[in-house]
């Protein structure tokens, strides 16, 4: 077997590798063809056949041909050291790629969940106000000024640049917390805080904990520009049911300009902090 010679076609068939790939291996010096004196055709040794199988295995591990050449070259001791360095580098590279793939998967899962939620909210025409406990969550945030342009606030150039600058990656819905519920209803420019979940713990930037309290919640269906018309309904509901409301408010955008320009399909969840009024207030207003 060691003395056998193979044509490029035979080597291709035995190793299940294209002749084009074999010629490329040859040009890189990973295998060395011999030339037939009569017709100048390439011929390969049995050792070449075994080397091709080794190269296929390294390729399976993600090594490029240039990397294989690097750690397979040199003296025996040098080759071993080159291989160790190359494998350490490849492990780090694969771990990074794996983390990025997990981030991609999480982003797609989160986006799909938002699409499903928006679809179910529209189908049920769910516009009722309710009170619920909002679990505390840590978000990446940036403080800005809201000038009334809701589209530019959600697809936020300044925040996108901030995310990249701090080496973060974001996922899930955009949250905007407005400093004043009263000004939001009146459509008055005010300070706002844009927040979003992040995928790279330990990164730089500003982080805040949102939630950990009871909130009145209500879905808004349709153009996001008309959200201020929904807040009075929340305020009236809270008053009727014996709740006092906070001074700020938060909007969680579920289907918005990120998912399409058809504003009639847009959905947002409006949240306002609430707490039970004391018995004196309730008795005074005839609630009990």
From the list 174, 196, 274, the residue with the least C-alpha distance to 231 is 274
Looking at residue 67, what is its pLDDT? 83
Looking at residue 65, what is its pLDDT? 86
In the structure encoding, which two tokens stand for residue 173, read together? 């819905």
Is 254 strand, coil or helix? strand
Tell me, yes or no, whether 67 and 115 share the same domain: no
Domain with residue 18: its CATH number is: 1.10.1660.10
* β-bridge partners, 190: 146
Alpha helices in the chain (DSSP H): 8-15, 19-28, 46-60, 65-72, 76-124, 150-154, 157-165, 181-186, 231-240, 279-284
Domain around 195: 104-284
Tell me, yes or no, whether 148 and 279 share the same domain: yes
**Tally of structural domains, the chain:** 2
Tell me, yes or no, whether 200 and 143 share the same domain: yes
Indicate if the alpha-carbon torsion angle 126, 127, 129, 131 is positive or negative: positive
Per-residue pLDDT of the chain (288 residues; tens, 9 = 90+): 556 888 899 999 999 999 999 999 988 888 888 876 566 678 899 989 999 998 999 899 888 888 888 777 655 555 677 788 888 989 999 999 998 999 999 999 999 999 999 999 999 999 999 999 999 999 999 999 999 999 999 999 999 999 999 999 999 999 999 999 999 999 999 999 999 999 877 678 999 999 999 999 999 999 999 999 999 999 999 999 999 999 999 999 999 999 999 999 999 999 999 999 875 554 555 554
Looking at residue 76, what is its pLDDT? 52
Phi-psi region of 140 (alpha: psi -120 to 50; beta: other; left: phi over 0): beta
* β-bridge partners, 273: 215
Letter string b/e over residues 222-259, b meaning 16 or more CB atoms within 10 A of that residue's CB: bebeebbebbeebbebbeeebbebeebbbbbbbbbbeb
Q: Does residue 189 form part of some domain?
A: yes
| DSSP letter (8 states) at residue 155 | S
Domain with residue 238: its CATH number is: 3.20.80.10
Looking at residue 4, what is its pLDDT? 80
Tell me, yes or no, whether 57 and 141 share the same domain: no
Q: Does residue 135 form part of some domain?
A: yes
Tell me, yes or no, whether 211 and 256 share the same domain: yes
Q: Does residue 62 form part of some domain?
A: yes
Q: Does residue 88 form part of some domain?
A: no
Q: Give the predicted TM-score (pTM) of the model.
A: 0.78
Tell me, yes or no, whether 109 and 250 share the same domain: yes
Looking at residue 282, what is its pLDDT? 47
Residue ending a domain, choose from 73, 94, 128 = 73
Measured distance CA(240)–CA(34) in Å, rounded: 92
Q: Does residue 89 form part of some domain?
A: no
Tell me, yes or no, whether 61 and 116 share the same domain: no
Tell me, yes or no, whether 9 and 143 share the same domain: no
Tell me, yes or no, whether 275 and 156 share the same domain: yes
Q: Does residue 10 form part of some domain?
A: yes
* CB neighbours of residue 141 within 10 Å: 21
Measured distance CA(194)–CA(163) in Å, rounded: 11
Q: What is the DSSP string of 262-282?
A: -GGG-EEEEEEEEEEPPHHHH
In the structure encoding, which two tokens stand for residue 215, read together? 């909130």
Q: Does residue 96 form part of some domain?
A: no
Q: Does residue 87 form part of some domain?
A: no
Tell me, yes or no, whether 58 and 166 share the same domain: no
Phi-psi region of 137 (alpha: psi -120 to 50; beta: other; left: phi over 0): beta
Distances (CA, A) of 39 to 7, 36, 184: 12, 6, 85
Tell me, yes or no, whether 128 and 19 share the same domain: no
Tell me, yes or no, whether 117 and 215 share the same domain: yes
């Amino acid at each position: 077997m060691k003395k056998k010679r193979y044509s490029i076609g035979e080597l291709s068939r035995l190793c299940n590798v294209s002749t084009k790939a074999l010629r490329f291996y040859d040009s890189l010096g990973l295998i060395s063809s011999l030339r037939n004196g009569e017709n100048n055709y390439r011929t390969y040794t049995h050792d070449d056949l075994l080397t091709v199988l080794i190269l296929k295995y390294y390729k399976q591990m993600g090594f490029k041909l240039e990397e294989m050449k690097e750690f397979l070259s040199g003296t025996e001791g040098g080759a071993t050291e080159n291989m160790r360095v190359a494998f350490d580098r490849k492990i780090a590279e694969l771990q990074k790629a794996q983390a990025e793939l997990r981030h991609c998967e999480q982003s797609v899962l989160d986006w799909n969940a938002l699409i499903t939620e928006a679809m179910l909210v529209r189908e049920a025409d769910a516009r009722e106000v309710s009170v619920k406990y909002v679990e505390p969550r840590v978000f990446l945030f940036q403080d800005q000024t809201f000038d009334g342009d809701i589209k530019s606030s959600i697809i936020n150039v300044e925040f996108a640049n901030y995310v990249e600058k701090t080496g973060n990656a974001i996922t899930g819905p955009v949250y905007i917390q407005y400093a004043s519920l009263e000004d939001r209803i009146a459509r008055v420019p005010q300070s706002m805080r844009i927040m979003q979940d992040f995928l790279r713990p330990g990164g730089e930037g500003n982080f805040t904990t949102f939630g950990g309290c009871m909130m009145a919640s209500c879905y808004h269906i349709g153009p996001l520009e008309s959200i201020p018309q929904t807040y009075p309904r929340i305020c009236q509901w809270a008053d009727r049911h014996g709740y006092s409301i906070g001074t700020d408010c938060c909007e969680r955008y579920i289907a918005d300009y990120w998912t399409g320009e058809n504003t009639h399909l847009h959905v947002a969840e409006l949240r306002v902090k609430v707490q039970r009024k004391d018995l004196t207030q309730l008795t005074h207003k005839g609630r009990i």
